[in-house]
Structure 1
Amino acid sequence: MNITRENIDELNAVVKVDIAKEDYNGKVEKVLKDYRKNANIPGFRKGHVPMGMVKKQYGKAVLVDEVNKLLQEGLNKYLTEEKLDVLGNPLPKEQENFDWDSENYSFEFELGLSPEFEVDLNTEKPITHYQIVAGDEMIENQIKTIQKQYGKLVSKDAVEGEEDQVAGTFKNEAEEIESTTTLSLDKMKNEEDRKKFIGKKVGDVVTLNTKDLFEDEHDLMEVLKVDHDKVHGLDVEVEFTISEINKQELADLDQELFDKLFGKGEVTSVTELKEKIKEDAGKQFAQQGDQQLLNDVTEMLIDNTQFDLPKEFLQKWIRTAGENPMTEEEAKEEYEKSEKGLRFQLIEGKLIKDNDLQVQYEDLISFAKDRIKEQMAQFGQMNPEDKELEDIAKRVLSNQEEVKRLSEQLMNQKLLDLYKEKVNLEPKEVTYEEFVKEVYQ
């Protein structure tokens, strides 16, 4: 077998593979002999079928199969030994008048080559690294939520205010609506609807219109128990018969509540409670700040790292890569949609290689243990033993899909650490509300 390469330009090449009879003949003969031993052909004993008959029946198919095996093995070995960084897969060139009855064969493949480029992480213009904190309003709302969660419901004779909760049943016979639910009056959109409940007692009926009853129509879907398609645009009157009235009595901000939340003596005052809420929120928001940093650095690298791609080759490869072949127009459209992602894959690969970023098994175990510990803490298991974490991590990593998922997460973390070290960053402290407004609006 002889393999040669002709470089068309820096991004495109053609590889020619020549296969001679001596390369494949021995393999073909061996397969045919095995066929002869096991062939069941009427009129002949097993193992005594004439070789000429075996060759006539199976020879061409075996030849094609063995040549294709040699071709793929030789091509893959060549690409590895030559250390060619190719994009997509080699594409066989069409050959007119190809003759399988010949003894020697030549095949040609088009290659798309990865471009050479450098990545500069140190930009002149700094990238904002958001340090997201909980504002005073968010902290107060969280405290109120905690008080509600640990408070108690007190039964009432009549509805007195919008903070009351009213249980009952919605009905509309024509629309086949009959749903028992509990309403928090402060969730209702219009003050006029909320006022209809004031002074009402158990057994009273309140008539409401479903249109604009809540800010979010999904809340209406939940209380009426109707499907997603029906709730959108629903504009009918429903009767709500009150069966129970309760007021949420807030829990006292005392030491008993603090100990329930954080453990005995960990928090001893409302001031410390606010600090703890702010600290915990900061940890959660740090992930959002880091994700935004990853997004912004990605955009910067794509914009600032210039290189050409073998565009025509990649469009041709896209046409044939999927289960269903595409037209030229479809392949062009798909390439335009995926070009940005491909560029970043190459940039990311370059960064990983140049900075020797690796995911070792020991790192993966440690990373998995940290994630498991975080999950266990959510269910109140604050101090699991290291052996328990190790055993769970090893069970998780026995699943190859989990290995792939966690490896990608760990590599993203390594890239994030690299960006924090080398990219020109400008820290900016913002509340969560300010972050949402600045980034998403």
Structure 2
Amino acid sequence: MNISKEQLDELNAVVTVDIAKADYSDKVEKILKDYRKTANIPGFRKGHVPMGFVKKQYGKAVLVDEVNKLLQDALNKYLTEEKLDVLGNPLPKEQEDFNWDADDYSFQFELGLAPDFEVNINGKEAITHYKIVPTEEMIDNQVTTMQKQYGKLIAKDAAEAGDVLSGTFANEEEAIENTTTVELDKIKGKKNLDKFIGAKVGDVITVKTKGLFEDDHDLIAALKIDHDKAHDLNIEVTFTVTEVNTQELAELDQELFDKLYGPGTVKTVSELKDKIKADAERQFEQQSDQQLLNAVTESMLENTKFELPAEFLKKWIQVTGENALSEDEAKDEYEKSEKGLRYQLIEGKIINENNLQVTFDELKAFAKDLIKSQMAQFGQMSPEDKELEDIAARILSNQDEVKRISEQLMSQKMLTFYKENAKLKTKEVTFDEFVKEVYK
């Protein structure tokens, strides 16, 4: 067997694999002899089928199968040993005069090669890394929410602003009938609110759904409908009042603080607000970090220039999918995926050059941290390490979970790398300012 490579240009090559009869004949002969011993063919006793008959009936199929196996193994070994960084997979070239009745064969494969380039994380301008801070109003609103959560409802005769009404929303034509509670603070507009003010048990209120609540998600919950149906829904619904209550807020005292954060963790209103602020900043950090990942990605794509073997990749896309594509369809698919492919190459180069690969020990430790975080949400603050080990082992036995957690960990590693190496400028903003600047 002989393998040779013709370099067409920096990004394209052709590999030729020559296979001689001596490379496959012994293997083919052995398979046919084994088949002769075991084959059950009508008209012949087992083990006494004439070899000529076996070769005539099955020789070509066995030959093709063995040559293809030999070819694939040899090609993979060659690519590995020569350290060829290929994009996609080798594509067999069409050979019109190919003859399986010959003794020796020659196969050719087109290769698309990964480009050689230097990663440039930074452009001329520093990348903005946002620090999102909660406003005093946001913190005060969270304090009030906590007081409501641990407060109590007191029944009253007629509704006033700020009260809570229980009842049933209904619309027979749309098959809507949902029993719920409505906080009058969430009703949008004086015209709508006036319909609820003064309401008593047994009253039936008719309102339009469009613009009923400050937040559309409240409409989804109130009517128990899906998001798509709620979008631009403009129908009349009735609300039959079954209870009228006023919300008595819980006192901002040690009893409430202990319920919220555990005994003695928070002792004053000022400490409570500091805690809320810190928790909010941690939550905002996830959004800020995701924005930073996006910004650095765009910067690298803009500032790291290299060519791709475009024609090879279009051809590869055309023939390797579940369904064959036309040239125009393959071109469209390539244009859609080109940006993602460029980023994969850039990210792969960063990972390899900076030893950022995910190890199994890192993956297991990361999985255990995720498990601890989830258990803490259900009040299990100090799980045993053996319990964490057992749960992590179960999770990591699932390949889909391994892939998902590996991607999370790699994203975290890349984020840390960017924070340490990219040219950043920190900008402190409120959440509303962040949304306005980033999502415009």
Give the alignment's TM-score, normalised by structure 1: 0.95
8 Å Cα contact 1:86/1:111 also seen in 2: yes
Secondary structure at the counterpart of residue 301 of structure 1:
helix
Identity over aligned pairs, percent: 69
- Counterpart residue number, 1:88: 88
Q: Residues 260-279 of structure 1, C-alpha deviation per residue, up to 9 Å, x if partnerless?
A: 11111111111000101111
- Counterpart residue number, 1:166: 165
CA shift, 1:169, in A, is 2.8
- Matches of 1:367 and 1:173, distance apart in 2: 51
8 Å Cα contact 2:368/2:389 also seen in 1: yes
8 Å Cα contact 1:124/1:424 also seen in 2: no
- Counterpart residue number, 1:27: 27
CA shift, 1:235, in A, is 4.3
8 Å Cα contact 1:167/1:181 also seen in 2: yes
Secondary structure at the counterpart of residue 15 of structure 1:
strand
Moved more, 186-195 or 388-397: 388-397
- Matches of 1:211 and 1:281, distance apart in 2: 31
- Matches of 2:342 and 2:421, distance apart in 1: 21
Secondary structure at the counterpart of residue 43 of structure 1:
coil
CA shift, 1:233, in A, is 5.3
Moved more, 338-347 or 34-43: 34-43
CA shift, 1:294, in A, is 1.1
CA shift, 1:292, in A, is 1.4
- Counterpart residue number, 1:242: 241
Shift in alpha-carbon separation, 1:123–1:101, aligned structure 2, 3 A = same
- Matches of 1:299 and 1:139, distance apart in 2: 34
- Counterpart residue number, 1:45: 45
8 Å Cα contact 2:122/2:300 also seen in 1: no
- Matches of 1:425 and 1:233, distance apart in 2: 41
- Matches of 1:414 and 1:239, distance apart in 2: 53
- 1:389-408 to structure 2, matched below 5 A, reads 389-408=388-407
Give the alignment's TM-score, normalised by structure 2: 0.95
- Counterpart residue number, 2:108: 108
CA shift, 1:359, in A, is 1.7
- 1:393-432 to structure 2, matched below 5 A, reads 393-432=392-431
Q: Which amino acid aligns with 1:107?
A: F
- 1:261-340 to structure 2, matched below 5 A, reads 261-340=260-339
Shift in alpha-carbon separation, 1:245–1:109, aligned structure 2, 3 A = same
CA shift, 1:176, in A, is 4.9
- Counterpart residue number, 1:359: 358
Q: Residues 305-327 of structure 1, C-alpha deviation per residue, up to 9 Å, x if partnerless?
A: 11000000000000012111111
Secondary structure at the counterpart of residue 196 of structure 1:
helix
Moved more, 361-370 or 46-55: 361-370
- Matches of 2:320 and 2:436, distance apart in 1: 42
CA shift, 1:218, in A, is 5.4
CA shift, 1:281, in A, is 1.4
Shift in alpha-carbon separation, 1:117–1:172, aligned structure 2, 3 A = closer
Secondary structure at the counterpart of residue 52 of structure 2:
helix
- Matches of 1:320 and 1:254, distance apart in 2: 70
8 Å Cα contact 2:165/2:184 also seen in 1: yes
- Counterpart residue number, 1:254: 253
8 Å Cα contact 1:172/1:238 also seen in 2: yes
Shift in alpha-carbon separation, 1:301–1:219, aligned structure 2, 3 A = same
Instruction: Show structure 2 runs of 5+ residues with no match.
Output: none
Shift in alpha-carbon separation, 1:63–1:280, aligned structure 2, 3 A = same
Shift in alpha-carbon separation, 1:130–1:222, aligned structure 2, 3 A = closer
1:386 matched to 2:385: yes
- Matches of 1:44 and 1:340, distance apart in 2: 62
- 1:184-199 to structure 2, matched below 5 A, reads 184-199=183-198
CA shift, 1:437, in A, is 1.4
Instruction: Show structure 1 runs of 5+ residues with no match.
Output: none
Q: Which amino acid aligns with 2:27?
A: K
CA shift, 1:440, in A, is 1.1
Q: Which amino acid aligns with 2:380?
A: Q
- Matches of 1:219 and 1:290, distance apart in 2: 29
- Matches of 1:184 and 1:263, distance apart in 2: 29
- Matches of 2:223 and 2:128, distance apart in 1: 45
Shift in alpha-carbon separation, 1:197–1:409, aligned structure 2, 3 A = closer
- Matches of 2:130 and 2:417, distance apart in 1: 17
Secondary structure at the counterpart of residue 40 of structure 1:
coil
Q: Which amino acid aligns with 2:208?
A: N
Moved more, 333-342 or 353-362: 353-362
- Counterpart residue number, 2:9: 9
Shift in alpha-carbon separation, 1:440–1:168, aligned structure 2, 3 A = same
CA shift, 1:219, in A, is 4.0
- Matches of 1:23 and 1:58, distance apart in 2: 19
- Matches of 2:352 and 2:430, distance apart in 1: 37
Backbone CA RMSD of aligned residues: 1.9
Q: Which amino acid aligns with 2:369?
A: D
Secondary structure at the counterpart of residue 196 of structure 2:
coil
CA shift, 1:353, in A, is 1.2
CA shift, 1:170, in A, is 3.4
- Matches of 1:361 and 1:179, distance apart in 2: 49
Shift in alpha-carbon separation, 1:38–1:20, aligned structure 2, 3 A = same
Shift in alpha-carbon separation, 1:290–1:172, aligned structure 2, 3 A = closer
Q: Residues 236-274 of structure 1, C-alpha deviation per residue, up to 9 Å, x if partnerless?
A: 443332211111211111110001111111111110001
1:138 matched to 2:138: yes
